[in-house]
Structure 1
Amino acid sequence: MEMQEANQRPEVTPNQTIYINNLNEKVKLDELKKSLNAVFSQFGKIVEVQAFKTLKHKGQAWVVFENADSASSAISKMNEFPFYDKPMRIQFAKTKSDVVAKADGTFVPREKRKRHEEKGGKKKKEQHHDATQMGMPSGYPGLYGAAPPLSQVPYPGGAKPMLPEAPAPPNSILFVQNLPHETAPMILQALFSQYPGFKEVRMVEAKPGIAFVEFADEMQSTVAMHALQGFRIQQNPMLITYAKK
């Protein structure tokens, strides 16, 4: 496997930055960056998310993790995952330092950079790293930790305290719990809209951490529920049941 990957991308070595393309170009830049941060922070601490308005960089983004292990996990779990109705294409970044440095104005051409590093210029990279740290602690489990058993039953096991005592019968509206309180509707829309029959997301302002997602019929809502059950937004795995009517 390693030889095959080396043949495909001989110039790319594992590093802490992933390059994502085939992103939906209609999504606003701020919304896209927030959504990427929410979805990818489950794999480890994110230093920053970079995306640009320029035509040349449309549909692309870079996510800089604190370590390469997090980046590797993100690629293996999220490559080809539908995001805003398009499958993300993800690989290790080829030009991590150039992209990030150009964005923040600290870019130095390669020949000059060598001279700077010889004189102790490595401090610039460390300062950039420290100044932009954000995200969740590393080491969270993978994306689909609880998915296999859930895919074989109509609803999650009744032992979990957050589940209602009497689960609602299958219907077209899903009840989503255990969301981070700052979750924006756009993030849920990006995840659920990839499934046929999606109609809308409704958040409850008075009760952060929950949402209702409506589909055209109960068969379509069931497909989405099983597919996204346990999907992590930041560190929180979504808990999805049918809504009570």
Structure 2
Amino acid sequence: MSGEAAAGGGGEANGVQPNVTIYINNLNEKIKLEALKKSLNAVFSQFGKIIEVLAFKTLKHKGQAWVVFEDVASATEALKRMQDFPFYDKPMKIQYAKTKSDVIAKADGTFVPREKRKRNDEKPEKKQKREQHHDVNQAGVGMHAYPGAYGAPPLPFGAGPKVMMPEIIVPNNILFVQELPHDATALMLQMFFCQYPGFKEVRMIEAKPGIAFVEYGDEGQATAAMNLLQGFKIKENPMRITYAKK
């Protein structure tokens, strides 16, 4: 049996059938455990709902992780599309897991019962309530009489709302990235953008989560990276990339 299979990985070639858990090795061992798990979640959540990400501090499990999806189709798509993806400067090696995630977690004393995850399941409901409340408020705004309606005196010429012309942003070597998860980090973004030529740095503003600036050597390199990563999902959030204002 190969070292990878013994560590918990496997593929169809080793007699392991497709299942909801993928086993990843050849991970960068210098990345801290929590940062590693967050980054894996961010990278793989675009393929489907993730139940949990397992990675351990023990020497035996260094450089390895397990990602558990809700269904086999998501795990299969992730395996195919992310094989050899440069993750923190090292190509990921992915196979179907040989053992169930709960078995691994219990063996390492890190098993988390599914019931404790109900809190996360409630978040979409809270978001929906906020959106409904927002819609009600917006509807209320529309109920006010506009100038000249229902006998209200019309505004004098030129006193109405000003129409803002769209600002033209000139292509340049710095990209402006929006729609990021609020817990996204510069290190996480660097993992995506550094794989393209000319990458220099990622800059984030602590007071404004969800946005970042990515600098390249020249405009052409920035444009290439923007086109290739436009809409790439991080935790189900498609990135929106434009040129930065200068």
Q: Same fold (TM over 0.5)?
A: yes
Alpha-carbon contact 2:11-2:96 (below 8 Å) kept: no
Give 1:166 deviation, angstroms.
Answer: 4.0
Give 1:12 deviation, angstroms.
Answer: 0.9
1:171 and 1:83 map into 2 onto residues whose CA distance is 27
What's the secondary structure of 1:240's corresponding residue? strand
Question: Given the alignment of the two structures, is residue 38 of structure 1 paired with residue 38 of structure 2, yes or no?
Answer: no
Query: Over aligned residues, Cα RMSD in angstroms?
Result: 2.7
Query: Aligned runs of 1:63-78 on 2, under 5 Å?
Result: 63-78=67-82
1:196 and 1:228 map into 2 onto residues whose CA distance is 13
1:173 and 1:27 map into 2 onto residues whose CA distance is 27
Are the structure 2 counterparts of residues 83 and 105 from structure 1 closer, same or farther at C-alpha, using a change threshold of 3 Å?
closer
Are the structure 2 counterparts of residues 181 and 243 from structure 1 closer, same or farther at C-alpha, using a change threshold of 3 Å?
same
The match for 2:15 is 11
Give 1:180 deviation, angstroms.
Answer: 1.9
Question: Given the alignment of the two structures, is residue 101 of structure 1 paired with residue 106 of structure 2, yes or no?
Answer: yes
2:64 to 60, 67, 88: 60
2:33 to 29, 34, 57: 29
What's the secondary structure of 1:180's corresponding residue? coil
Query: Aligned runs of 1:148-227 on 2, under 5 Å?
Result: 165-227=166-228
1:7 and 1:99 map into 2 onto residues whose CA distance is 17
Query: Aligned runs of 1:63-142 on 2, under 5 Å?
Result: 63-97=67-101, 98-104=103-109, 128-131=113-116
Are the structure 2 counterparts of residues 129 and 169 from structure 1 closer, same or farther at C-alpha, using a change threshold of 3 Å?
same
1:26 and 1:237 map into 2 onto residues whose CA distance is 28
1:54 and 1:78 map into 2 onto residues whose CA distance is 25
Alpha-carbon contact 1:22-1:88 (below 8 Å) kept: yes
Give 1:212 deviation, angstroms.
Answer: 0.4
The match for 2:242 is 241
Q: Which has the higher contact order (CA 8 A, sep 6+)?
A: 1
Alpha-carbon contact 1:167-1:241 (below 8 Å) kept: no
Alpha-carbon contact 1:24-1:85 (below 8 Å) kept: yes
Alpha-carbon contact 2:52-2:68 (below 8 Å) kept: yes
Aligned length in residues? 194
Are the structure 2 counterparts of residues 209 and 9 from structure 1 closer, same or farther at C-alpha, using a change threshold of 3 Å?
same
Letter in 2 for 1:67: D
Give 1:132 deviation, angstroms.
Answer: 5.3
1:169 and 1:22 map into 2 onto residues whose CA distance is 41
Give 1:73 deviation, angstroms.
Answer: 2.0
> TM-score, structure 1 length as denominator?
0.70
